[in-house]
Amino acid sequence: MALRGAGLTALKFNFKTKFMNSTNDKLKNETPHFGNTVLPAVPSSEVDLFGCTKIKKETFTESFLVPPFSVLDTKQSYWQKRKKIWRNLIQDDGSKRSGKLAKRTENWNEESETYEIMSKFDVSILDPVLSEVLLHWFAFENCKTFDPFAGDTVFGYVSSFLGNDFIGIELRQEQVDFNAEKTKGLNAKYICDDAVNVLNHIKENSKDFLFSCPPYFDLEKYSQLPNDASNQKEYKDFLQILNIAFSNAIKCLKENRFACIVIGDVRDKKGYYMRLPHHICDIFEANGMRLYNEIIMLEMIGRKALTANRNFITRKNPKVHQNVLVFYKGDERKIKEIFKKLR
């Protein structure tokens, strides 16, 4: 017979009395530690259907760091708190970028940290929590990671801080020097070269995880170098650089491993999307890596709210997401053998 009224109230009270103390003790120990730095555990709902505090084994977000769905919501407080800690650790504000994404406005709110995330130098900085999550989901402990379009310090720092090897190829010497200084003492190595030359520095079938967040065509120019992908005047020339670089990078990846590419679409001069994520998929699939997951990363709205009216005059929806494309190389039946169960 279903419990109602006073009976249900009594059950709820007894359940809470019995488990509250032990549960609170467990929750105190949920926060993961990295060296002397504490990163907060990622909570899901703290109470269950009956208003009782959940015990740890009933939550799955801690096992996955964030809810393991096809949408990542960076606006959530657990994400923002974790990101703040990582940013304080990494201390990369984009100062070594010569390119600018947009000018600041008087209404800029430092606390909002949109991902476009504009730093005070108005350049995009990779989200460190995204780096951590992708490593947790699609790599494994003590693995060998690399990025042919290394850019800022973030992924290399996060990967090596978590105990992995990392090699990054970066075109600009000043960024390489800056990254090397920031990752001193960690197992990270930065090489100044063109991404298309990745095979000159990394052996074939030697790496466990490929990560990259390449330029979004000319949305943000990182340098004036003629071989910089972001400095190409024609989209076809930009794609050719990505095609060669990723085709070579895929050869460096071992069998039965994942690659994660963070990318966003861009508009042409007439306002039409150029389908950049689709072209990335074409490159990988032509090299034997099929699209295994597509994840949408929701961003802070931030300044997009200020420009929405202007953009919508021509009926353009302000874009507040990025695409995370996950590819797999090898026999998908071996995934559960190689990658540990997270919960």
Distance of alpha carbon 182 from its chain centroid, rounded?
Answer: 19
Mean pLDDT on 116-123: 44
Average pLDDT over residues 179-194: 96
Residues 6+ apart with CB under 8 A from 17: none
Average pLDDT over residues 58-68: 81
Instruction: Say whether pLDDT at 75 is over 50.
Output: yes
Beta strands in 205-313 (DSSP E): 207-212, 253-263, 290-298
Is the predicted pLDDT of residue 282 greater than 60, yes or no?
yes
Q: Which CATH architecture has domain 71-338?
A: 3-Layer(aba) Sandwich (3.40)
Q: How confident is the model at residue 136 (pLDDT cuts 50, 70, 90)?
A: very high
Measured CA to CA, the distance from residue 257 to residue 264 in angstroms comes to 23
Q: What is the mean pLDDT of residues 247-264?
A: 98
- Residue 47, pLDDT score: 58
Residue 237: pLDDT band (50, 70, 90) is very high
Does the structure show a pLDDT above 60 at 176? Answer: yes
Tell me: pLDDT of 56 over 70: no
Quote helix, strand, coil % in the chain, to nearest 5. 35, 20, 45
pLDDT reported for residue 14: 38
Query: What's the confidence (pLDDT) of residue 92?
Result: 79
3-state SS class at 226: coil
Question: Looking at residues 209-222, what average pLDDT do you find?
Answer: 93
pLDDT at 306: 77
Burial 221-238, CB ≥16 within 10 A → b, else e: bbbeeeebbbbbeeeeeb
Residue 152 predicted with pLDDT over 70: yes
Residue 311 banded pLDDT, cuts 50, 70, 90:
confident
The CATH 3.40.50.150 domain(s) of the chain lie at 71-338
Residue 26's pLDDT is what? 35
For residue 200, pLDDT beyond 90: yes
In this structure, of 77-81, 133-137, 243-247, the range with the lowest mean pLDDT score is 77-81
Q: CA nearest 120: which of 137, 145, 101, 139?
A: 101
* pLDDT surpassing 90 at residue 43: no
